[in-house]
């Protein structure tokens, strides 16, 4: 009888806790405001109670009869929470009390890192992209590489959040990584220093003899070229400065290269899209319990004239903010998308306080949508036929083979290292490579044709006017 009373009490407490947690989650959401929860039917309430009793019964049996008495109730409950979250996406994580302070410091301040964007795919820790100029970039790590071990810890079964925390640490300390390159089956062991990560994000086509970036990839046709490596602080203002100079120099077309760009700050993505778009929707969020939130372009922020031929290069490692910008420009028919289908990361995470702020839940609560309303995020189990990511325009798909992708990455790596050396005022040079970037060549070809057509129409109009 006493056991049954205890179980019933625990189940009731869990039900109250679940209801309180939902209320707490609502209170944490300031922008946008959450809607009131949909009322549950009596049947749904009873079903929820039964499931909570199942959990309480299991916990009671372990507490009373399990052979090992050293396992605490908290360890069991936290293991149960992590088990639940394992059924969700890799970006949803439980943050226990001992890790909460560190998590809050990381999101508010600079930290020591190695400069890679990673995700979980098919249970493997995959590098989306090494960031330009960082220890991971200098060590030659590639997009698509699989991190097998962090120090002596295997990444098999690890959560994304736990892996990221292992790679962070005091500035000046080092971390050993064991990395598998699937394209060659080569295993690589690297020791990387942790540094404060500063990411130069607006790069050009090549380094000029005066040690400055050349932002023209076709001087005769006056086609500008900007490679955006990430959406970090000041990316929008730096890009705006480059575009103003290109326009002043008579730019007739522009290539925005977002290949290998893993994303970054949403605020920068909004500002960068606004440079191209005079009016209309940039992106929106679609959530389960919140009203749709929309970001719209403002004419005051627009730099580029209407009708300027623009191409955007993307590949399978373009993610997050890269997808928001490229989807926006495609849906508004401002730019032609060339290359490969993008990664498909467009989820929204919120931090929900638990235990009156002692622990927290980083919970995926929504996804970003294109201006057309289509989904960006690739959910687990999504097929190639589903809506996710950004596809190139018709007849503009150029998917690189694994060797071609390695060659492109090597080309960029050589160019970036040369760029970094040039910034140190040493002798500038160009990559020694016979690599041909077929995606970039396609973009130049498309823009040349559109510039020629635009010029012919302008001349024809001038000839028929009295």
Query: And the tokens for 404?
Result: 């071609």
For residue 125, give the 3-state DSSP assignment. Answer: strand
Say if CB 283 and CB 268 are below 8 A apart.
Answer: no
Say if CB 112 and CB 105 are below 8 A apart.
Answer: no
Cα–Cα dist 400/411, whole Å: 14
Say if CB 187 and CB 136 are below 8 A apart.
Answer: no
Nearest to 99, CA basis, from 358, 365, 364, 363? 358
Would you please indicate which residues are annotated as catalytic (active-site) residues?
Answer: 320, 331, 345
Q: How far is CA 64 from the centre of its chain?
A: 46
Query: And the tokens for 55?
Result: 């959990």
Q: What are the DSSP calls for 85-122, one per residue?
A: HTTS-TT-EEE-HHHHHHHHHHHHS--EE--EEEEEET
Query: And the tokens for 362?
Result: 């980083």
Q: Is 72 exposed, middle or buried (0-12, 13-18, 19+ CB in 10 A)?
A: exposed
Residues in the chain: 466
Backbone dihedral region for residue 263 (phi beyond 0: left; psi -120 to 50: alpha; all else: beta)? left
Phi, psi of 124, deg, nearest 5: -115, 145
Q: How far is CA 37 from CA 21, 34, 51, in A?
A: 12, 8, 20
Phi, psi of 104, deg, nearest 5: -65, -35
Query: And the tokens for 44?
Result: 């749904």
Nearest to 361, CA basis, from 373, 350, 376, 372? 350
In this structure, what DSSP letter does residue 127 have?
E
Q: How far is CA 449 from the centre of its chain?
A: 33
């Amino acid at each position: 009888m006493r056991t049954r009373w205890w179980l019933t009490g625990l189940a009731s407490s869990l039900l109250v806790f679940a209801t309180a947690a939902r209320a707490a989650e609502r209170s944490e959401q300031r922008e946008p405001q959450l809607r009131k929860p949909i009322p549950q039917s009596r049947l749904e309430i009873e079903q929820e109670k039964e499931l909570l009793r199942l959990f309480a019964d299991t916990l009671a049996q372990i507490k009373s009869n399990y052979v090992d008495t050293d396992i605490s109730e908290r360890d069991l409950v936290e293991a149960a929470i992590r088990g639940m979250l394992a059924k969700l996406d890799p970006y949803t994580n439980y943050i226990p009390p001992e890790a909460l302070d560190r998590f809050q410091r990381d999101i508010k301040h600079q930290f020591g890192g190695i400069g890679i964007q990673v995700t979980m795919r098919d249970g493997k820790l995959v590098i989306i992209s090494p960031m330009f100029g960082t220890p991971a970039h200098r060590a030659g790590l590639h997009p698509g590489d699989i991190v097998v071990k962090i120090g002596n810890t295997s990444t098999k079964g690890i959560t994304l959040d736990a892996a990221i925390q292992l790679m962070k640490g005091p500035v000046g300390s080092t971390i050993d990584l064991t990395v598998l390159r699937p394209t060659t089956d080569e295993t690589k062991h690297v020791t990387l220093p942790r540094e404060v990560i500063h990411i130069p994000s607006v790069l050009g086509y090549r380094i000029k003899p005066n040690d400055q970036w050349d932002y023209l990839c076709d001087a005769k046709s006056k086609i500008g070229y900007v490679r955006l490596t990430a959406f970090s602080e000041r990316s929008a203002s730096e890009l705006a400065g480059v575009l103003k100079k290109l326009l002043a120099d008579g730019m007739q077309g522009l290539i925005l290269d977002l290949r290998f760009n893993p994303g970054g700050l949403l605020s920068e993505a909004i500002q960068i899209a606004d440079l191209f778009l005079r009016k209309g929707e940039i992106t929106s969020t679609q959530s389960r319990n919140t009203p749709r939130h929309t970001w719209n372009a403002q004419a005051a922020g627009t730099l580029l004239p209407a009708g300027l031929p623009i191409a955007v290069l993307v590949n399978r490692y373009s993610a997050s903010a890269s997808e928001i910008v490229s989807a926006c420009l495609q849906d508004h028919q401002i730019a032609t998308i060339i290359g490969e289908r993008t990664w498909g990361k467009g989820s929204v995470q919120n931090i929900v306080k638990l235990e009156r702020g002692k622990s927290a839940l980083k919970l995926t609560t929504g996804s970003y949508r294109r201006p057309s309303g289509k989904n960006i995020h690739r959910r687990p189990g999504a097929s190639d036929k589903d809506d996710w990511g950004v596809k190139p325009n018709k007849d503009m798909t150029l998917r690189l083979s694994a060797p071609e992708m390695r060659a492109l990455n090597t080309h960029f790596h050589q160019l970036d290292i040369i760029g970094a050396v040039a910034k140190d005022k040493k002798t500038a040079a160009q990559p020694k490579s016979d690599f041909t970037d077929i995606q970039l060549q396609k973009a130049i070809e498309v823009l040349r044709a559109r510039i020629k057509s635009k010029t012919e129409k302008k001349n024809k109009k001038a000839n028929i006017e009295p």
